[in-house]
Amino acid sequence: MGNAVLIGQYIERDSFIHKLDPRTKLLSITAFMLSILMLESAISYAVATILVLGALMVSKIPAHVVWRGIKPILFILIFTFLYHVIFTEGTVIWSWSFIELTVEGLMNGVRFVWRIVLLVLLASILTLMTKPLTLAHGLEKLLSPLSKLNIPVEQFSLMIVIAIRFIPTIMQELDRILLAQKARGFDITTLPLMKRLFSYIPILVPLLFTTIQRAEQLTFAIEARAYGRGKGRTSYKELEFMKADFLVGGITILCVLTLLLLKI
């Protein structure tokens, strides 16, 4: 389960996107995410899908890795689709008891599911192709003007990256707890759906305990390295925009404007 979560993992590849400045990736993906939230027409969704899939192809990330990252959110996608199908009013095409299936519900369900998948893939692209420390450094540089307002930008950047990096770690810890229970003769996967959901509640206690322990150990490690507030610290590798970054920035602006024009 831990390896199934794309967000928070980094995959080493010799690709064009891997070599980009982390600030370029952050700004470009943020702009794409905001434009995807405003998609409406089928043409705009198709264009956005082509752009996201094109980025995945350029990154040289295997397709099975991407599919493995989509599987954990299938329940959320199914729930989102059914919610819009059942509770959206409109032209009824099928009904049973109090449940009514509408054309507008089907369209809304497909649109929202499609949007969630694109957003997850974009977030995964950022973490799969950027090392956590490099991502923290890029985020710190982007937010550096806020430090003049006495905002702890360095701590905020480190906190965000650590939170993202801890996602697969927590999932791996959950796998370990489930295997320990299975070794004791209690296999959650053999239970019915409702009992399986309630069986996860007792697991949250040891999971929360181990997560707090890891956070405490990480705190001691940061303090042992005299990180402090992080203000004024230098970096081994300074970030610098290259020609490829300006090229990607221009392509991003062009693509975002295209999506906005399709919306209009």
Q: According to the model, what pLDDT value does residue 195 have?
A: 73
Q: According to the model, what pLDDT value does residue 66 have?
A: 77
Distance separating alpha carbons of residues 169 and 175, to the nearest angstrom: 10
Whether residue 245 contacts residue 138, with contact meaning beta carbons closer than 8 Å, is answered with no
Angle at alpha carbon of residue 115, lines to 110 and 121, rounded to 5°? 125
Q: According to the model, what pLDDT value does residue 37 have?
A: 85
Instruction: Compute φ and ψ for 176, nearest 5 degrees.
Output: -65, -40
For residue 2, pLDDT beyond 60: no
What mean pLDDT is reported for the chain? 80
Instruction: Compute φ and ψ for 246, nearest 5 degrees.
Output: -65, -35
For residue 110, pLDDT beyond 70: yes
Q: According to the model, what pLDDT value does residue 161 have?
A: 76
Q: According to the model, what pLDDT value does residue 228 have?
A: 67
Distance separating alpha carbons of residues 132 and 166, to the nearest angstrom: 11
Out of 18-27, 59-68, 90-99, 145-154, least confident range: 90-99
For residue 3, pLDDT beyond 60: no
Say what percent of the chain tops pLDDT 70.
Answer: 90
Position 264 confidence tier, pLDDT thresholds 50, 70, 90: low
Instruction: Tell me 61's DSSP state.
Output: -
* Tokens 């329940």, residue located: 75
Whether residue 98 contacts residue 12, with contact meaning beta carbons closer than 8 Å, is answered with no
Position 232 confidence tier, pLDDT thresholds 50, 70, 90: low
195 or 46, greater pLDDT: 46
124 or 113, greater pLDDT: 113
Whether residue 41 contacts residue 245, with contact meaning beta carbons closer than 8 Å, is answered with no
Task: Tell me how crowded residue 202 is: count the other CB atoms within 10 A of its CB.
Answer: 11
Helical H runs in the chain? 22-36, 42-59, 63-70, 74-87, 103-128, 132-142, 153-183, 193-199, 201-224, 243-263
The closest of 70, 160, 64 to 114, measured between CA atoms, is: 70
Instruction: Compute φ and ψ for 62, nearest 5 degrees.
Output: -60, 145
**94 by DSSP, 3-state: which?**
strand
For residue 48, pLDDT beyond 80: yes
Domain ranges of the chain: 2-263
Q: What is the pTM of this model?
A: 0.73
For 174-230, the pLDDT digits (tens) are 888 888 878 877 777 777 767 776 777 777 888 888 888 888 888 888 778 777 666
Distances (CA, A) of 106 to 70, 75, 116, 235: 21, 17, 16, 51
Q: According to the model, what pLDDT value does residue 47 have?
A: 87
For residue 6, pLDDT beyond 70: no
